Amino acid sequence: MSMSQNDVKRALLGDHEAAKRLTETGYFKASGDLALCRCPFCGSEDVVYERYLHTAGYRWRVVCTSCMASIDPGYAQQRSMVQRMWNTRAPILSKSEMEMLEGME
């Protein structure tokens, strides 16, 4: 487990120094309007925003600190953009919808 993963877990448990380190490095656990869904791959709630410096300026990505799944389009200048990408899930189709879809081929 990397140092930042440990810090995320420590910050979630109330360690203020770990939270400060994460804020300085660009990791943000969000709630409210910026809340992130669980990881679609491992189901973890340990999902954070990361702000990083790109050659064209600061950008945002979302990272699951449990399995390291991420979404990073490389151009997101606002957290809300990567939030929509991360939180959007393909709808699960019913058996009849799948049959209808397969019949369209």
What's the pTM?
0.62
| Domain span holding position 61 | 3-103
| 26-40 pLDDT per residue, tens | 666 677 888 999 999
> DSSP 3-state assignment of 101?
helix
Indicate the number of domains in the chain.
1
Nearest to 85 by CA among 97, 96, 75: 75
How far the first Cα of the chain sits from its last, in Å, is: 46
Maximum Cα–Cα distance for the chain, whole Å? 57
Q: What is the pLDDT of residues 55-99, one digit of tens each?
A: 898 999 999 999 999 999 999 999 999 999 999 977 777 888 888
CA distances (Å), origin 26, targets 10, 50, 73, 90, 95: 16, 5, 17, 29, 43
Closest CA to 49 of 33, 41, 57, 65: 65
